[in-house]
A and B are shown apart, each in its own frame.
Chain A
Amino acid sequence: MTAALFSWPWVFDHLDDIWAQTLEHLWLTTIAVTVGLLISLGLSAYVLHTRKAYGPITWTTGVLYTIPSLALFAFLVPITGLSVLTAEIGLVSYTLLILIRNIVAGIDGVPSSVLEAAVGMGYTRRELFIGVQLPLAMPIIITGVRIAAVTTIGLVTVTALIGQGGLGFFILRGLSLLFSPIGTTQIVVGTVLSVVLALAVDLALVGTQRALTPWARSKEAV
């Protein structure tokens, strides 16, 4: 990085801007992962009840996952406009496959003896899901959330194309000013900060996982 291609003055002049876009980036990610998680939990609960649905659901979310993000946003803009909604529809779609797979795998991993004992003691289906299956699947579910969050943070930059984008805003504008120090500076700021954001969120989720699964820690200790 030569001094000519990176402008520290630009950075210092735009700290407020950078901070605002970082928060925006985090916000778009949080909404996408939260909404994705809620939808996935609902669909997973349905899959547990009706196993036949698992194939079609993974197929559909799998297809969603393979659509290039650019194409998906281009397809949605005529319907929902250059809006946060458009961005979130895309972002949420991409979280579903990972989250549903991890939730179902986590729940399938609950030992059958634990389920038998729980049902034998009088757990209802709902109590079983909330009180036993979800907590025990938590490590695998959070692993899914970590992957979904990191993927989403990368994808949020693409939503700059439809007027959202968080840190992607800098990347997009930098591209339009290419070969000028201000342009490359913005590309670097947008890229580096979204990577840092991804790492920070991942780390925070690891912490959450440890806090939510104290029993798994005591197992390691033995």
Chain B
Amino acid sequence: MIELINVTRTFPGVETPAVDELTLQINEGELVVLVGPSGCGKTTTLRMINRLIEPTSGSILIDGNPIDAVKPHQLRRRIGYVIQQVGLFPHKTVGENIATVPELLNWKDDDIAARLAQLAATVKLEPELLDRYPSELSGGQRQRVGVARALAADPPILLMDEPFAAVDPIVRAHLQAELIALQDRLHKTIVFVTHDIDEAIKLGDRIAILSDGGHLEQYGPPNEILRDPANLFVADFLGTDRGIKRLSLIPVSAIDLDRGPVVGRGASTAAAQTAMTDYGTDWFAVGEGTELDGWASAADLGPDGVDKVKLEPFRTMLSPKSTLKDALDAVVSSHTSVAAIFDGDRFLGMITADEISAEILR
């Protein structure tokens, strides 16, 4: 656990503090994102945790111990640090780069070799790259090496300063997904700085929104912040599409699913018409229990019941783990204006645009 208590940092010659009386608690195993516009003191805050910058006043504790109880270099060897420009050593091979902190801590050669192989797999780096020099790597590979290097000595804490800001959007999305997967396994205490609110929402267990001078405007889970911005600054910073953003955080399983205009196999024309009237649709679906055969539009429904109609398959199928954003996408891009939810091949129900919008407004 990391605790910042009334931390202030003033830089010489600058009147307003870069960080002013910031109090923040980061729990063990939690990924907290510090986000805010440039000049909000987020990087200063991060760098105070590994003492690259010393607070002017206030105190910082890790697991209850003041961080200035040990020498700075000893503190830093127990805290992984990843920066935007990565800062790999050009004169060392990739493997030597990753082994930096274990070397500083005088690990045995065998242990280091074993750890390297493990880390290469962890960050999805081809093992043959370990003998190359950093100048031979792509931007995404360098960033992976940077993460591997930070994880090398298995520190409980990881500080990440805009680590993915310099790579292209596709690689960034990959790296973000890998970080989430990594964190699911490793449960590090991570403090992550970004200016990108979407990145913050995607990654953070909790988000700390900072404004100029390191004022903490709001601190909480992304879903909560998106639903109830504490003030105008936060609402502005989240953007006008915060409702849509929030959808990406809510799983489909959070909603009571409706069965939709589904009639049984062999149902009569009248039954199908009733179902469509009940749900206000111009299409119906056919299925039994957890099996869903497909759908057809009202125009194709003849007088001889649903068995005579050729059914279309549901093209977009979502799982209970899909988000409401996926559901919205499915709704607006399907002919039926609903998203059908399946758990494997079991039909669970349907979501309509109305239900999604009700969730935004909740």
Q: Which residues of A contact B77 (CB under 8 A)?
A: 121-122
Selected from B73, B88, B132, the residue in CB contact (under 8 A) with A122 is: B73
Whether a CB of chain A sits under 8 angstroms from the CB of B91 is yes
Whether a CB of chain A sits under 8 angstroms from the CB of B76 is yes
Query: B12 CB to closest chain A CB, in angstroms?
Result: 16
- Interface-side segment among A11-19, A25-33, A175-183, A211-219: A211-219
Q: Which residues of A contact B273 (CB under 8 A)?
A: none
Could you tell me if A213 and B81 are in contact, using CB atoms closer than 8 angstroms? no
Whether a CB of chain B sits under 8 angstroms from the CB of A114 is yes
Query: B107 CB to closest chain A CB, in angstroms?
Result: 14
In whole angstroms, how far apart are the Cα atoms of A15 and B287 in the complex? 107
Could you tell me if A132 and B76 are in contact, using CB atoms closer than 8 angstroms? no
Whether a CB of chain B sits under 8 angstroms from the CB of A135 is yes
Whether a CB of chain A sits under 8 angstroms from the CB of B304 is no
In whole angstroms, how far apart are the Cα atoms of A118 and B159 in the complex? 14
User: Known interface pairs A116-B52, A121-B149. Does A222 touch B83 (Cβ–Cβ under 8 Å)?
Assistant: no
Q: Which residues of B contact A132 (CB under 8 A)?
A: 89
User: Known interface pairs A121-B149, A218-B135, A218-B136. Does A116 touch B87 (Cβ–Cβ under 8 Å)?
Assistant: yes
Whether a CB of chain A sits under 8 angstroms from the CB of B237 is no
Interface members, chain A 136-167 (any B CB < 8 Å): 136, 138
Query: B78 CB to closest chain A CB, in angstroms?
Result: 8
User: Known interface pairs A116-B52, A117-B87, A120-B50. Does A215 touch B133 (Cβ–Cβ under 8 Å)?
Assistant: yes
User: Known interface pairs A120-B83, A122-B77. Does A213 touch B135 (Cβ–Cβ under 8 Å)?
Assistant: no
Q: Which residues of A contact B133 (CB under 8 A)?
A: 214-215, 218-219
Q: Which residue of A lies closest to B136 (CB)?
A: A222
Whether a CB of chain B sits under 8 angstroms from the CB of A105 is no
Interface members, chain B 128-160 (any A CB < 8 Å): 132-133, 135-136, 146, 149-150, 159
Interface members, chain A 111-141 (any B CB < 8 Å): 111, 113-124, 127, 132, 135-136, 138
Query: B89 CB to closest chain A CB, in angstroms?
Result: 6
Could you tell me if B83 and A215 are in contact, using CB atoms closer than 8 angstroms? no
Query: A126 CB to closest chain B CB, in angstroms?
Result: 10
In whole angstroms, how far apart are the Cα atoms of A121 and B105 in the complex? 11
Q: B-facing mask of A194-222, CB < 8 A → 1, else 0?
A: 00000000000000000001110011001
Query: A119 CB to closest chain B CB, in angstroms?
Result: 7
Selected from A116, A122, A135, A136, the residue in CB contact (under 8 A) with B83 is: A116
Query: B47 CB to closest chain A CB, in angstroms?
Result: 8
Q: A-facing mask of B60-94, CB < 8 A → 1, else 0?
A: 00000000000011111100010101111111100
Selected from B76, B90, B92, B136, the residue in CB contact (under 8 A) with A121 is: B76
Query: B278 CB to closest chain A CB, in angstroms?
Result: 63
Q: Which residues of A contact B318 (CB under 8 A)?
A: none
Could you tell me if A122 and B101 are in contact, using CB atoms closer than 8 angstroms? yes
Whether a CB of chain A sits under 8 angstroms from the CB of B232 is no
Q: Which residues of A contact B52 (CB under 8 A)?
A: 116, 119-120
Query: A205 CB to closest chain B CB, in angstroms?
Result: 19
Most interface-central of A116, A215, A219 (chain B CB within 10 A): A215
Q: Which residues of B contact A116 (CB under 8 A)?
A: 52, 83, 87
Q: Which residues of A contact B100 (CB under 8 A)?
A: 118, 121
Q: Which residues of B contact A214 (CB under 8 A)?
A: 133
Whether a CB of chain A sits under 8 angstroms from the CB of B104 is yes
Query: B223 CB to closest chain A CB, in angstroms?
Result: 32
In whole angstroms, how far apart are the Cα atoms of A53 and B353 in the complex? 71
Query: B153 CB to closest chain A CB, in angstroms?
Result: 9
In whole angstroms, how far apart are the Cα atoms of A117 and B74 in the complex? 15
In whole angstroms, how far apart are the Cα atoms of A119 and B87 in the complex? 11
Q: Which residues of B contact A222 (CB under 8 A)?
A: 135-136
Q: Which residues of A contact B146 (CB under 8 A)?
A: 117
Q: Which residues of B contact A120 (CB under 8 A)?
A: 50, 52, 76, 81, 83, 87, 159
Could you tell me if B86 and A215 are in contact, using CB atoms closer than 8 angstroms? no
Query: A109 CB to closest chain B CB, in angstroms?
Result: 11
In whole angstroms, how far apart are the Cα atoms of A123 and B87 in the complex? 14
Query: B263 CB to closest chain A CB, in angstroms?
Result: 64
User: What is B's interface to A at a CB cutoff of 8 Å?
Assistant: 50, 52, 72-77, 81, 83, 85-92, 100-101, 104, 132-133, 135-136, 146, 149-150, 159
The 6 residue pairs across chains A and B that have the minimum distance between CB atoms:
A117-B87, A113-B85, A122-B77, A120-B81, A122-B76, A113-B87
User: What is A's interface to B at a CB cutoff of 8 Å?
Assistant: 111, 113-124, 127, 132, 135-136, 138, 213-215, 218-219, 222
